[in-house]
Amino acid sequence: QRVLAAMQDGVINLCRVKLRDQQRLKAGPLKEYSQHGENVPFGEATPRAGNDSGGGQPGRILKCKGWETDPDAYTYFITQAAVWKNICD
């Protein structure tokens, strides 16, 4: 039963993130999702995050040099929104 309880706790945590995003939709689109930048309408449901981090901060899996042949040539980049402009500059 301890395993079942631990798995249940893990699933509840994943649900919490999507429920939070669903509430955030009331304030407008979730701009940290790449779907927003591709001008895909959000509708009334939380979009699939794909490789995006969600949660209000930019984060995504990025391809690195050699990604075409090396399955490990990826990195995950995430930052806080407050420093995003400086990183882009």
Q: How many domains does the chain have?
A: 1
Note the pTM of the prediction, 2 decimals.
Answer: 0.44
Domain region containing 35: 2-88
Q: What is the DSSP letter of 28?
A: S
Distance, C-alpha 76 to centroid of its chain: 11
Q: In whole angstroms, how large is the CA radius of gyration of the chain?
A: 16
pLDDT in tens, 4-57: 566 677 777 777 777 777 777 777 766 666 665 556 666 666 666 666 666 666
At 16 the pLDDT is 74
